[in-house]
Every structure is written in C-alpha cells, then in structure tokens.
Structure 1
Amino acid sequence: MDARSQSIPMLDLSTARSEDGHFSPAFISKLRDAAHRVGFFQLTGYGSTTEEVSELFDATRHFFDLPLEDRLELDNRRSPHFRGYTRLGHEITQGRPDAREQLDFGPERPALENYPANQPYWLVQGPNLWPDKAMPQLRGVAMAWAERMSVVGAELLSAIAVSLELPEGHFTDAFTGTPAWMAKLVHYVGGVVKEAGSQGVGAHADYGFITLLLQDQIGGLQVLPPGSAGWIPVEPIPGALVVNLGEMLEVATQGYLAATIHRVQAPPPGIDRYTIPFFFSPRLDAVIDPVKLPPALAEQTRGITDDPENPMLASYGANVLKGWLRAHPEVARIHHPQLVQTPRTD
C-alpha cells in the first residue's frame, strides 16, 4: 500500500461546488480517491460554528454527568425500538462488551403497530427517549445537530454519486419520505468495564450510507483501510467531522467504495472521551441496487467483503436490524425473542 494510505485525507466541503453550482472537479477527484482508497476522510467547511460544536459537547457531557438513576429512566431495555440509554458494557461488538455508554436517538416517529411479517425491520421505528425533566434542553440541541448532519450527508451523497459518474440525484429516491437516520451521544470510559479490556468499540463496519462523526480531542479511533497492513489512527481535529462510508455503498459499488473496518481504543483510566456519531441512512424499506460503474472504475472493484458471520445485505432495513440484534442482545431477548437465534444444545 502506498504512503498516502497511511494517513486520513482532508476535504473542505466549502470548496465542493464551483460558482456555477456544479461540483468542482478537483473536489470530486479528492473525494473519489478518499472514498475508494481509504473509506475515511476528515471534513471541514461544512457550515457549523465553534459555538454550535461547543454547545453540543457541553450538552453531551452534561447528560452523562446526570445521576445514574436519571439516565436509567431512559434505559434502552424499555424500548423495543433500540432507543435510549445503554449502560457501560452493555453494547456488544465482536462478542465483547464495549467500554462506553451512550444515548441512541433517531427521527421522531410513532411506532408501527402492523407491518408485514417478512419486514420485521419496521420495529426499529419508534419514539425516542429523552431526559425532558432532568435536562429539557438536550432534545433540541441533539435534534438540531441531526438536522444539520442530514444536510451535510445529502450533499456528500450527491458528490459521491457524481464521483461515480452518476447523476447527482442517483441515490435520492432511497431517502425520500422517511429516511431512517440514527445518531448517538457517546461517552467512553476506560478501566471500568473489565471484560472490555482496551476495547472502546470492537472492529466493525457501519450499516448505512455515510457516517459523520464529531470527536473530542482525546483520540482512540483507528481504521483499517483495504489492503492496509495495520491500523491507522484518526487524529482529532477541532470541529472537523470524521466521515466514513457504510455497507450500503460497498454493496452498491461491488466494493469500489469501501465500508472500512474501524475500532476505538478505550481511553486510559480516569480519562473521558466523548463523540457524537450521525449515521446518514435511507428509508427502512430501501433496497440498494448495484450501480453501473464506468469501465475505469469497474476495473478497480474489490468485491463485497466476505464475512459469513456478518453478511452485507442490499436491504437497508434488514442490514440495520441485523446489527441492532447483535449489538443489543438484552433488548432483543426482552422485546423480540422470535428474532433471536437460540443456540442448539444437541
């Protein structure tokens, strides 16, 4: 692998379009290179202010400073939709607990009472759990950030389509109506979850299209680009978004775009790390067909990552439900036992 792949590319979204409104060829070239070669890049110039970022981090820290009993009022074991608060060590990645606690939220929509039996992924739609009594400001701050990230995600997805020599709006239909984005407020704590060891989050790829991560200055995120011999750290840059591509784009491009494996190392004991990831994702019923790549790009496809234990699916709803069931087995057993595979004993 060449030396360029040993660092994470930098892109400036404010340079994405020329004065005539079309995407800049220089930006598209940089984006295509980063998305194919690494699957990760850092993004500046996306329109947020220092004050907005500070407010979001302050709110995140405030939430995790609330008494545990207040956080447990939002316990995700109460939510059949995998929303709410997950305690330290109760999310599972690669079969091990993660050294983090988090608050999961998504679009504010009512639960669906009836849906086809062959579409169980509709169960992930439902109301969020917010600390409206203990911290009434959090809902507004978090949802405002999600709205901003939805705009950034849509612009990047249009640029990605152009980088594949497709029309800007090629992927738009999958997001029309009720896009099922997800977001988290995350607090990493080292040295508390014994079973986690150094695992903040285990190695994994993301389910959807584009992940937009705001991280603090502690660090710990590492990526394993295609063909890389070792893990590469993603160094914190104040206010920048860390962007990575999800499994839907790898499936759609037969591996030309990479849903790159990444992990987080837990911080040292006594050090707190805070992040806010946003997962820009389509409707739950969206099925992503393969795109027709131009010959020059088609020659560089790598195929879809082959993991029999965690196959990538073209149905977004099926892909995300598979991930939730694996990551939150307690919620799955309580609310969806019919979807949990019971190990055979014979």
Structure 2
Amino acid sequence: MTASANLPLIDMSGVREGDPASIRRAGEAIRQACVDIGFFYIVNHGVPQAVIDRAMAAAAQFFAYPAETKRQVAVNKRHRGWHALGGATMYEATKPDFKEFFSMGLELPEDDPSVLAGEALRGPNQWPDFMPQMREALAEYYTEIGKAGADLLKAVAVGLGIDVDFFSSKYQKTLQRTQMVYYPPHPPMAEADQFGVAPHTDYGCITLLYQDNSGGLQVRELSSDSWIDATPIAGSLVVNVGDLLAHWSNNRFRSTLHRVINKSGHERYSIATFFDPTYSAVVDPCDLGIDAATSRYQPVAAGDYILKRIDDSMAYRKKA
C-alpha cells in the first residue's frame, strides 16, 4: 500500500515518550493538516500491531455470526452492543447506512458515581457469551488506542498554540467509544444515495480509525469540492477532527465531510475510536484564547452535545 497523495502523513515518533521537539514537530504538522482538510494519517502511534490484529480478527469472527446470535448483545440505551444493518441514518441521508457495528465504551460498574448519577452512555459493556475472547481483544485495543489518543491531543494542543497538557484535565473520565464496523460488499445495483456510511462529520473531538486493505473511505476536499480517497496505509491510523474540536477551536480546525462506499467486492472491516472528553467537560472556544466577542459557539458540555447527535442518528433511540 502506498500513501495517498491527498492526505498528510504524520510521524508520531517521540510523542509518547514526551519529547518536546517531537511534540512540537507533530503539532505543527497537525495544525497544517487540520486547517487545510481536517484529516491525516499517523504512523509510529504506539498501538502494537499484534493488538490491532487481534481486534480485527475478533471483528471478523463476531460479524460472521448470524443475526439471531448477535442479537443477544443488541444495542442498549447506553449505546453499547451490536447495531444491526440499517440501524444508523446520518443527518440529511435518504437511506440507512449499509453497515453493522459493535460499540463499547469505558467499562464502569453499576455502582460507579457517574452511572448512579444517571449520566447518559455510562455503564458496563455488553460482551457476548458466545464469543468470550472478544472481550479481552477489544478491551486491550480500547486501552492502547486511548493512549494514542492522549498522545495525539498533546500535539493537537501545541498545534492550537495552547498548553501541551490542556486537554488532560478534560479527559479524566473519558467518553471514549470504540466501534468494530462491518461493511458488506456494496450492492451492485445500489442507487446513488446508498452508502456504507453516508456523508457526515463526526460528533466529538478526534476520531482514530484503523481500516483494512479494502479502501472505500473518502473525504470531501474543500479546495476542489470533490471526494478524495483515504487510501489504506499499512500500520497507520486515519485521524480526523470532529465537530466538538471544530467548535472548541472556533473553526480554526476543520471537521470535514467523509463517507464510505465499499466497492471492493468483499467484506470491509474497520475499528473507529471516538476519543472524547469527560461527559461534563465544558467545550468553550474562550478557553483556547478566543475572545468572547468573536466566539462562534456557546459553551456546551461535551456529553450533552454527543448524546444529542447520537439521538438524532440512531434508529433504536428514535423508537425509544
């Protein structure tokens, strides 16, 4: 696989070790990427390939089970578990996404203070009894990708010209969500408005995506107003800015439309992680040095914003 000519590739070497020069170099590259397009690849991100491989193998095995089996862990009100084909419809889309996914989050017991307080999306995960090894594989990936996300935010902070540790206090009890995603082959006679994932922007701060070799992820390039391919690159993660970070930065960093069309002729698998702050963390452009008079966005609790976007796009929540 070769690098896409359209999206920047950023080397994260030295960032995990806390090397100031490495963080500054990565931060400058991230700033340019986020101002220009809002998407980029990272390599040397610290997530062991063996951990990635186990999680991807678990995804392939899980989605191969029949629907009646997967339904044992059907999505619950906490947005944890299996989402069946047709369960998500992006805003302004005319058809549901042609995908399945399994969603997990921070593992919290029922007596955790956030759960007892009724904080939405919080609680224990749903793990399939019929596939016990999936819990270990996905939990390990969740931990490692979370470390990569925390490293990345240090460079993001530098790119925004704020203190390198600004985001750490906002991520004390992260709302990180990780999803294994399965895309069947795109129907050969599908209409033009059928997508694996319809054009959308992500809800939160940053997304870290591992994709297989199938291709299909496309990004809307502002300068050309056309769709460009995010070609798979071995060992890389695709990163994009979400709406919350765009708001936090007062639109200095872009949240960019993207979509998936799986025209590979075979199944496509990916693992998306939405690395978002503590539920109650206040997202306010003024905290990033923006004058109140020029701020485009009112302060909002991160969790409240994300919850509304989930409510708007997920069929099971509309039924409830």
TM-score (norm 1): 0.81
Post-superposition CA distance 1:78-109 (Å, at most 9, x none): x1112111111121113420010010110111
Residue of structure 1 in register with 2:88 after alignment: 91
Residue of structure 1 in register with 2:232 after alignment: 236
Distance change in 2, residues 1:332/1:224 (3 Å): same
| Structure 2 Cα separation of the partners of residues 283 and 272 of structure 1 | 34
| Structure 2 Cα separation of the partners of residues 13 and 200 of structure 1 | 30
Post-superposition CA distance 1:123-169 (Å, at most 9, x none): 221221111x2111101111111111111111111111111221111
- Tell me if the contact between 1:87 and 1:102 (Cα under 8 Å) persists in the aligned partners: yes
- Tell me if the contact between 1:313 and 1:319 (Cα under 8 Å) persists in the aligned partners: no
| Structure 2 Cα separation of the partners of residues 320 and 203 of structure 1 | 18
Post-superposition CA distance 1:34-54 (Å, at most 9, x none): 121111100110123333322
Residue of structure 2 in register with 1:158 after alignment: 154
CA RMSD across the alignment: 2.8
Post-superposition CA distance 1:178-210 (Å, at most 9, x none): 211101000001229968953011111111111
User: Cα distance, 1:332 vs. partner?
Assistant: 3.6
| Structure 2 Cα separation of the partners of residues 246 and 289 of structure 1 | 15
Deviates more, 1:241-250 or 1:46-55: 46-55
Q: How many residues align?
A: 308
| Structure 2 Cα separation of the partners of residues 136 and 223 of structure 1 | 36
Which of 180, 185, 188 is 1:185 aligned to? Answer: 180
Equivalent positions of 1:9-158 (< 5 A) are 9-16=8-15, 21-76=20-75, 79-94=76-91, 95=93, 96-110=95-109, 112-115=115-118, 122-131=119-128, 133-158=129-154
Residue of structure 1 in register with 2:305 after alignment: 319
Read off the aligned partner of 2:61 and give its amino acid letter. H
Residue of structure 2 in register with 1:271 after alignment: 266
User: Cα distance, 1:261 vs. partner?
Assistant: 1.3
Residue of structure 2 in register with 1:118 after alignment: none
User: Cα distance, 1:321 vs. partner?
Assistant: 0.9
| Structure 2 Cα separation of the partners of residues 69 and 20 of structure 1 | 50
Distance change in 2, residues 1:195/1:322 (3 Å): farther
Read off the aligned partner of 1:84 and give its amino acid letter. G
| Structure 1 Cα separation of the partners of residues 296 and 251 of structure 2 | 5
Q: Which runs of 5+ in 2 are unaligned?
A: none
Aligned to 1:274, the other structure's residue is in SS state strand
**Identity over the aligned pairs, expressed in percent?**
32
Aligned to 2:79, the other structure's residue is in SS state coil
Distance change in 2, residues 1:168/1:103 (3 Å): same
Aligned to 1:186, the other structure's residue is in SS state strand
Q: Which runs of 5+ in 1 are unaligned?
A: 116-121, 305-311, 335-346
- Tell me if the contact between 2:176 and 2:277 (Cα under 8 Å) persists in the aligned partners: yes
Aligned to 1:250, the other structure's residue is in SS state helix
Distance change in 2, residues 1:280/1:193 (3 Å): farther
Post-superposition CA distance 1:264-302 (Å, at most 9, x none): 11335x51000000111111111111146679xx9xx99
User: Cα distance, 1:19 vs. partner?
Assistant: 8.6
TM-score (norm 2): 0.87
